[in-house]
């Protein structure tokens, strides 16, 4: 599984409304733009646009169902996003540990200069 960061994927996930939509679809199962709009403080048209973004990056997939589409989360793509987040987090943790060591070394040098 690749952990290279997919900017388009993370841009899609970066929106709080879209994250809430993913949460709702995970918790409640497949949903439509209409059913999701009842649970969100945005219009059905806005929900449809958000669903299109999530569908384009593969986080959800829609199947025709009458006049609407039923959307559900693509768990493999969500797992890929989680792996990317974990990899980015590990990289930043390592960077922060290095920064801390540098800051501690500088502080130690300053302390010893005052002796």
Coarse DSSP helix, strand, coil percentages of the chain, rounded to the nearest 5 percent: 65, 10, 20
Residue 114 has pLDDT above 90, yes or no: no
Q: What is the pLDDT of residue 2?
A: 42
For the cut 70, the answer to whether the pLDDT of residue 22 exceeds it is yes
CA–CA–CA angle 83, 87, 89 (5° rounding): 115
Q: Per-residue confidence at 90, pLDDT binned at 50, 70, 90?
A: confident
Residues 78-96 have a mean pLDDT of 87
pLDDT of residue 7: 85
- pLDDT of res. 1: 40
Name the band, by pLDDT with cuts 50, 70 and 90, for residue 110: confident
């Amino acid at each position: 599984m690749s952990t290279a960061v997919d900017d388009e994927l993370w841009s899609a996930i970066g929106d709080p409304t879209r994250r809430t939509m993913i949460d709702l679809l995970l918790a409640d199962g497949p949903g439509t733009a209409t059913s999701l709009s009842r649970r969100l403080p945005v219009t059905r048209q806005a929900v449809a646009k958000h669903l299109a973004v999530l569908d384009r990056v593969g986080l959800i997939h829609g199947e025709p169902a009458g006049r609407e589409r039923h959307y559900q989360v693509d768990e493999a793509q969500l797992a890929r996003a989680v792996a990317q987040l974990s990899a980015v987090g590990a990289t930043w943790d390592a960077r922060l540990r290095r920064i801390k060591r540098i800051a501690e070394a500088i502080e130690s040098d300053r302390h010893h200069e005052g002796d």
